[in-house]
Structure 1
Amino acid sequence: MSEEFNMSMRKFLKQVGVTSQQAIEDAMRNADTAGQTYAVKATITIPELGLTHDVTGEIKGQE
């Protein structure tokens, strides 16, 4: 793959990571999340390529 592709991919993934973390923290900030575990799912799509990629996991609330 080209260097331009690699750089654009890294930039996109960094943006996804940073903005997702901020959104999750904002959602949990004022909630009583102690002792709770939340199912989480992220979906990446590229409609023109027919790509749908899901990542699932869990996030534990703050103690």
Structure 2
Amino acid sequence: MNDEELNISIRKFLKMVGVSSQREIERAVAAALQAGTIAGTESFPAKMTLEIAGLRLDVAFEGEIRLEGRDAAP
């Protein structure tokens, strides 16, 4: 196994996932704002699942997407 190649490929994958995920979230927020289905002050629970079948890896990460800072008025 080539540790350097593994590290590079993991970083490339995570960068692609990060950039693509951010773009999709931003598009969804913009569409919901335009449709009037959200006010723009909400927080949304978020969950991402990483699956690599060949390694039998299936792990979920949970967090929160906030549209305003915690100190924002309701």
TM-score by length of 1: 0.87
Task: Name the larger-Rg structure.
Answer: 2
Offset, 1:48: 1.4
Gaps of 5+ in 1: none
- Structure 1 residues 42, 3: closer, same or farther in 2, change over 3 A? same
Aligned structure 1 segments of 4 or more residues deviating by more than 6 angstroms: none
Question: What is the letter of the counterpart of residue 38 of structure 1?
Answer: F
Partner of 2:66: 60
Q: What are the Cα deviations for residues 27-52 of structure 1, in whole angstroms up to 9, with x where unaligned?
A: 00132342211010000101111101
Offset, 1:11: 0.2
Pairwise CA RMSD: 1.7
Partner of 1:36: 42
* Number of corresponding residues: 63
Structure 2 Cα separation of the partners of residues 51 and 43 of structure 1: 10
Question: What is the letter of the counterpart of residue 40 of structure 1?
Answer: A
Which moves more between the two structures, 46-55 or 32-41?
32-41
Q: Which has the higher strand share?
A: 1
Identity of aligned residues (%): 41
Partner of 1:14: 15
Gaps of 5+ in 2: 33-37
